[in-house]
Structure 1
């Protein structure tokens, strides 16, 4: 008589084989989803057709609604969406069912998650394809929230997330949908640090609005006030958030004005909007203490230094942005009003960053008092400017006064030198 009783070891092997088969089928389904998105992007006709329905059905089947939408754990099959085998892999004509490219080459995924790829597609406005794509994006956000903040792991585009794409497209509806979904998800499933810590660092982002890296910085460079207020309230750890270069949003705005001179007026308006905390009128349910904290962060922005050890004023001088330099000097951080006789108000400027030497100390002692954190002063940066631009800075009253005071201190040395030669 045969013994059909399986041993524990054979049971483990059966489970392993079953898991591998399920895993393999799941990965094939995911590749089909990517292929469906590519097909949707290439469809030319505008009217609804069977292909739209087939693509949407494949997504609906894979992302079937969970019994408990606020589950504390991600579905096992959803984990394959983040596998390196998928993100670094390809899909081919077998997954497409038809050859869209008229060639038998594999199409690379290039590190895009399925949500990032879906949001990267541009289809005809008010077409059936746009409606299908919107349903797919909403489904992905709702059923797998981890996709919202999962960064692209590709050297050139490293760190970009669907949140960044929603900001770039200025799509308030998608951003709200993302924010509401993230708010409902369990902390153990998706930690708050992961939501607030996203930052794009890819080299291709340089000299674009993405150079800011953080969602709040990108929103600032888009000059969209409504989007900025939404991102600040729902996707930012604070107004003083910085990117991988240590730049806060003011640093980023200055750098953007340097590479995009025609955007200078927009930059100045955004600086005023941020530093004067005008966005607080669009933020709801904030207590007075929180409002005070935000205003304090706004002041802090002008005093923060990046990894180059430059605060915004110094950066504006170094990048030859006179109008921004003047704007910053006119803020309450650097300018205050004093009344000497009760009738006339005088303006007092903090010139610490204009010159590293303490001029008042020079008048009293023979030693030059140098700031401990040494860096080039604004005056030193002006030496490297073109003549016309240097004169703009030099003619600005606080700078002019520094030059005058320095001349008073050193003119006798120059006169002595002239007599000697």
Structure 2
């Protein structure tokens, strides 16, 4: 009886295995995967890295006024250290203090003792800086500023104040600081700024003052092997369906990428690409805070921050936002190479996007040498001696890097130079001028 029972069980198991095999075979034969013909293939569009708002919206200068003396710095790390000590402050009750401040009044705000001024290269909306400092006022004004002043008192009983000044609209806003320990802040500030270079104020009739260094400065020039980012990466990031994009050479100087809705030109000479989406063009005026936020998000979408780029210009009528290349904390300018990320915004998307497609590998310079720069005061005096009319149009004087290409050695050269700002453009004070040769204002 036992053997017969075992044989019956084995027969049942064999039958079940045969039925399972037939079922699996039928399923494989009849399976038809569901394809969505409208799906686009997933493409890796990450190019470099993402940035936060505080990484791209930065002051370029700090000026400290104490007992009739001025000192300052354009050192990024030092400025960030001071700003970081302000991030826990509760900034309360932002109010309009002066609706039409004269240039003379703005000068007074800046140089009054026990004040520290941060200079920004372009106007920053309050709603954008709310991402960086802690505003507890939920009804921030729909306004912008390009100077932020911290005022303190030697008396512990008096509170610190903030002033937000727009040198463009000439409006001055003030705010209280809720929970700052004034004594601790002053001690830390004096420690952070103990060795700051001395600055001079150059006063001008009915004009904003200029602030310049009084001592020469030794800096380094650098050369780097050219490191280019494959334009194909930007094609994958910017076009809706990269696989449908057509590519055509533009002689030996460039390449063109196009589909039925957009065009991207790559300029091999200037190491610049220009993308345009004509259908999104719009003539509506933009809102500053929305434009800056959109522009940051757009570059973040393809991790497009290939180097240290900082917010530098905005134009509401054309909906343009620009980010300037910085190197070792100094702005980089060039006559033959792209050094800006520029965006024009249209209807719900970027209309035009212009940018470099190289990157600076700052860890491995090919060459390096020291350069001594004259003081800012000497540069101003030199320009004045050559053209006193030109001096009247100057809005700022600062050090930057002049970027040039060496095609034979395939390197990018970065030379520290003095620049002055006039009519919205930074103009280099050339070596010819400094050496007493021809009039060297580029």
In terms of fraction of residues, the more strand-rich structure is: 2
Higher relative contact order (CA 8 A, sep 6+): 2
Same fold, judged at TM 0.5 (above): no
* TM-score with structure 1 setting the length: 0.21
* TM-score with structure 2 setting the length: 0.21
In terms of fraction of residues, the more helix-rich structure is: 1
